[in-house]
Amino acid sequence: MHNESMHWASVWGNAVSIAENRPESFSKNITIRYPIYSHFEGSAVCLTFDNYCGTEPITITKTTVFVDGTFYTVTFGKQKSVTIPAGEHAVSDPLSCHIKAQSSFNVSFYLADYTQMRSVVFTCGPLSEGSYAIGDLTEVADFPIEVSRKTHYFYFLTNVSVYTEKKNRTVVCYGDSITAQDWPDYLTLRCKEEGYDNTAIIRRATSGSRILREYSCITYESYGLKGDHRFPHEVPTEGADTVLIQQGINDIIHPVGTEVNPFRPMSDLPTVEELIEGLKYYISEARSYGYKVYVGTLLPIGGWRTYAPFRDEMRNAYNEWIRTTDLIDGVVDFDKAVCDPEDPSRFLPKYDSGDHLHPSPAGYKAMADAVLKEILED
């Protein structure tokens, strides 16, 4: 499949992280379904399934794409079933089908045998809700409510690309739980509403993750991989030319001391300089992919359960570096967009979810509105 005026561009994407370790971490005889919004028109679809965090192989028995009332069977090397070793990924054969611009279609996949459900990410927002059902329902348009449930956990499926015109491009939003939640979806809706028809927004975000550290205990391993394990795995993306990075707050707020939590020593707390070096690593990696690089400032933390003045001083120093460095193409001042002007250490109340760390839906929309137009313009 080759045409000089066409290329593959990602229209949907997620990171993959480590599932919380529970006794029920295996599934069998289950169909998982995710709605995929495509900002672009395309003539073919390609899917990526990733077992990056798995410790044993998984087998996806059957996969379908449901577009405009028709089911299409997805193949891998012309086979319906694919086995993905631990730490590896599988890319489907291109599937010829017409995808309309600014439309949605479903991807469903069936796990017949016991499957380790370890490679997963939590994602939410107005465009991000999946479902699962008991049995092989990959060719059933509507899951019966008696055997199905909604979910915000996205297993294995990490990328969907369409074969589309070269003018269409992708922006990658990289970060932690704040980016795993609503604002990238609101940014997609903003692109639709404001006529940025050639720009798709995708996520690469995992809750609890830090730039410089990761947990080695089963209690907290679901908080995700550190930056040099994540960034080169997640960010290279078909059709992408820009990455918007917003990460670092968990490096600042997690360490509390072993007298409080044996897994969170204060020795895990980086200096601001070390945190900036981690961000410079991201910038260097992104430049090696030929990407433009934008960085978002860290949001207020006043009132969060581990808040302390020294943590806010670190946040402010990190943000000041982001605002003044010439190593990036631009800054998105998320902090300024959602903070209380009377007390910049805190959210404006209407933008606070209530935990004083994550924004409310209105706060996430304010973040999306703060993204520079130059990022969205093709």
pLDDT digits (tens, 9 = 90+) for 222-258: 999 999 999 999 999 999 999 999 999 999 999 999 9
What's the confidence (pLDDT) of residue 121?
96
Q: What is the mean pLDDT of residues 296-312?
A: 98
What's the confidence (pLDDT) of residue 303?
97
What's the confidence (pLDDT) of residue 96?
97
On average, the pLDDT of the chain sits at: 97
Judged against a pLDDT cut of 80, whether residue 272 lies above it is answered with yes
What's the confidence (pLDDT) of residue 23?
78
Q: What is the mean pLDDT of residues 332-355?
A: 98
Q: Supply the pTM of this predicted model.
A: 0.96
HEC per residue, the chain: CCCCCEEEEEEEECCCEECCCCCCCEECCEEEEEEEEECCCEEEEEEEEECCCCCCCEEECEEEEEECCEEEECCECCECCEEECCCCEEECCCEEEEECCCEEEEEEEEECCCEECCEEEECCCCCCCEEEEECCCCCCCCCCHHHEEEECEEECEEEEEEEEECCCEEEEEEECHHHHCCHHHHHHHHHHHHCCCCEEEEEEECCCCCCCCCCCCCCCHHHCCCHHHHHHHHCCCCCEEEEEEECCHHHHHCCCCCCCCCCCCHHHCCCHHHHHHHHHHHHHHHHHCCCEEEEECCCCCCCCCCCCHHHHHHHHHHHHHHHHCCCCCEEECHHHHHEECCEEEEECHHHECCCCCCECHHHHHHHHHHCCHHHHCC
What's the confidence (pLDDT) of residue 41?
97
Q: How far is CA 31 from CA 28, 55, 61, 93, 133, in A?
A: 9, 22, 10, 20, 5
Write out pLDDT tens, residues 5-61: 999 999 999 999 999 888 779 999 999 999 999 999 999 999 999 999 999 999 999
What's the confidence (pLDDT) of residue 378?
72
Q: What is the mean pLDDT of residues 278-295?
A: 98
- In this prediction, residue 1 has a pLDDT band, given cuts at 50, 70 and 90, of low
- In this prediction, residue 4 has a pLDDT band, given cuts at 50, 70 and 90, of confident
Judged against a pLDDT cut of 90, whether residue 99 lies above it is answered with yes
What's the confidence (pLDDT) of residue 223?
96
The answer to whether 209 and 176 have CB atoms below 8 angstroms apart is yes
Pair of tokens at residue 312: 């806010």
- In this prediction, residue 120 has a pLDDT band, given cuts at 50, 70 and 90, of very high
**Phi, psi (deg, nearest 5) at residue 41:** -80, 145
